[in-house]
Amino acid sequence: METSSIGKAIDNRDRLSELPQNIIDIILSKLTTKTAIKNTSILSKPWRDAWITCPKLVLKRQEFCCHHSFVKFVERVLAIRATSSITAFELYWTNVPDVSCISTWLHYAMRHNVQEIVLHVHSRDMLELPTSFFRCPTLKHLDIDGSMRLEYPRAILNCFLKLPNSLNLINLRYLHLNFVKCTQELLEKLISSCALLESLRLGVVFENIEISALNLKTLYLDYIYGTVQISTPKLESLSCNLFMFGKILTEDLKFLEEADVWCGGTLQWSVDELTKFWSQLSNAKVLNLTGGAVESLSGIDLSYQTSPVFSNLKQLTIRAPLTTENINVIITLLRRSPNLEKLVLHNNQTTNRLVDFWGDHKAPWQLKDGRGVSYYKAPRQLEDGCGFPNLKDISISSFLGERTEYQLVKFFLEEANTLQMMTIYRKVSNYAATAKAICEKLLAMHIASPHAKVLITDDFPRGNWL
């Protein structure tokens, strides 16, 4: 150790080279393989060779000028690190000209005891995964995406992958399939063969399928057009994106903690099916509703004694236009949620354009009663006289200052006796009311809770669900 001219000690040690190998592996695993090689080439020798033993490979075609240079790079990397184990193998490649090399790379990963495979590829040719791929005893995480998303417009090209008939992934815990060509029988066989499966994500489901998984805890269903029968007794989190004729039939979800429901298009559900579906979600502590999910609740009368009671619900997030119809549904839902503590309302203007087309008194998502007759409910006036004993936090975003919004705010201030904080995020728009105008309106309102604070701001907080 040297001493400076003023007598202070100077530490000349190479602290980067002294880092333990596991820390170096963690650092490099945050980078793509090409970036890791490039950035460590200027460092000391221990770092220059560190990528060879890094257990994670992240290969992205977009980092190369052409397909040929990308393939040569991958083959050279695999040849150099021939004896090193692989815990994670990630491949991102669109417009694949020749899919044969992908099977070779997957064989390499399986021979090196891979635990996680992420395969996001798009090709005009059908990619048939090797049979041994579905007999890999070390595989715990499998993510296959055969779609290609464009930046603008956000389109998805119909490219599919093909799965073999022989399946056996005994240690698989996470499975994500999006735009994977797979028959109903094969998909059900794949899911049922994974006895330890805890998380399942399916994207674009056109056929009717049955999901039976005894240990499944998380289920994400995206773009559902068929009927999905769920038999998952230990499910804790359910997220579903329903379109047109999409249906979800569930059994007892007594361990459900969180549910996220998005609906678009006309729901072809009977009242009995709808009531049963929401009853199965009534155990959730966190509930997120978007668009047509709110309108769908107007198809059942929540004021009936037989309607579901969300007695465990602590947090409710709703992303939908604050029309008269939706506000009535929200208020009625709150009355069926006696232990609700936090309410988040996002006035979704995108969905509002759909509602404006049909008019404020008729939602575009129509339901059918038991006789198959379409109907909708006329809006009701907000009813008071029944407070919300545990509601402490309310936030309303994209606030424009319209009459229905002020009515809703007034209702909450008068009814929520234990309210501690109401935050109004004013939408920055030429059509929105000014913060001063909103304050003047609120000052004239009665506030039931002595501890309530009201905050008006233009900035919607990052991290909240938009």
On the question of pLDDT at 77 being above 90, the answer is yes
The pLDDT value recorded for residue 358 is 30
Give the residue, 2 or 355, on which the prediction is more confident: 2
**CA nearest 334: which of 274, 373, 280, 294?**
294
On the question of pLDDT at 16 being above 70, the answer is no
Note the pLDDT tens digit of each residue in 127-157.
778 777 888 899 999 999 887 554 433 444 4
Q: What count of other Cβ atoms lies within 10 Å of the Cβ of residue 105? A: 18
Give the residue, 343 or 181, on which the prediction is more confident: 343
The pLDDT value recorded for residue 176 is 94
C-alpha 415/C-alpha 434 separation (Å) is 25
β-pair type (286-291, 421-426): unpaired
Structure tokens at 133: 């791929």
- Can you state the angle between helices 403-415 and 324-335, rounded to 10 degrees? 20
pTM, two decimals, is: 0.81
Residue 352's pLDDT band, with cuts at 50, 70 and 90, is very low
On the question of pLDDT at 7 being above 70, the answer is no
On the question of pLDDT at 84 being above 70, the answer is yes
List C-alpha distances in Å: 328 to 115, 262, 287, 369, 404: 49, 19, 18, 20, 11
The pLDDT value recorded for residue 89 is 97
**CA nearest 357: which of 327, 311, 321?**
321
β-pair type (247-250, 367-368): unpaired
Note the pLDDT tens digit of each residue in 244-289.
667 888 888 999 999 999 987 656 788 888 888 888 999 999 999 9
The pLDDT value recorded for residue 58 is 96
C-alpha 109/C-alpha 132 separation (Å) is 11
Residue 53's pLDDT band, with cuts at 50, 70 and 90, is confident
Average pLDDT value for residue range 96-123? 91
Contact between 291 and 320 under an 8 Å Cβ cutoff? The reply is yes
CA R_g for the chain: 27
Residue 172's pLDDT band, with cuts at 50, 70 and 90, is very high
CA 225 from chain centre, in angstroms, equals: 18
C-alpha 51/C-alpha 229 separation (Å) is 45
The pLDDT value recorded for residue 351 is 43
Lowest mean pLDDT across 96-100, 353-357, 417-421:
353-357
Average pLDDT value for residue range 391-396? 96
Looking up tokens 């093909």, which residue turns up? 162
Note the pLDDT tens digit of each residue in 38-48.
887 766 666 77
Average pLDDT value for residue range 379-405? 77
The pLDDT value recorded for residue 11 is 57
The pLDDT value recorded for residue 382 is 47
Name the residue type at position 110: M
Structure tokens at 269: 């559900």
The pLDDT value recorded for residue 307 is 74
Domain ranges of the chain: 269-466
To the nearest whole number, what is the mean pLDDT of the chain?
Answer: 80
- Can you state the angle between helices 100-111 and 67-80, rounded to 10 degrees? 20
Give the three-class secondary structure for 53.
Answer: helix
In the chain, pLDDT over 90 holds for what percent of residues?
39
CATH number of 269-466: 3.80.10
Lowest mean pLDDT across 59-68, 135-144, 347-356:
347-356
- Can you state the angle between helices 403-415 and 435-443, rounded to 10 degrees? 40
The pLDDT value recorded for residue 155 is 40
In the chain, pLDDT over 70 holds for what percent of residues?
78
Note the pLDDT tens digit of each residue in 223-244.
888 889 999 999 999 999 887 6
The pLDDT value recorded for residue 257 is 96
Give the residue, 154 or 91, on which the prediction is more confident: 91
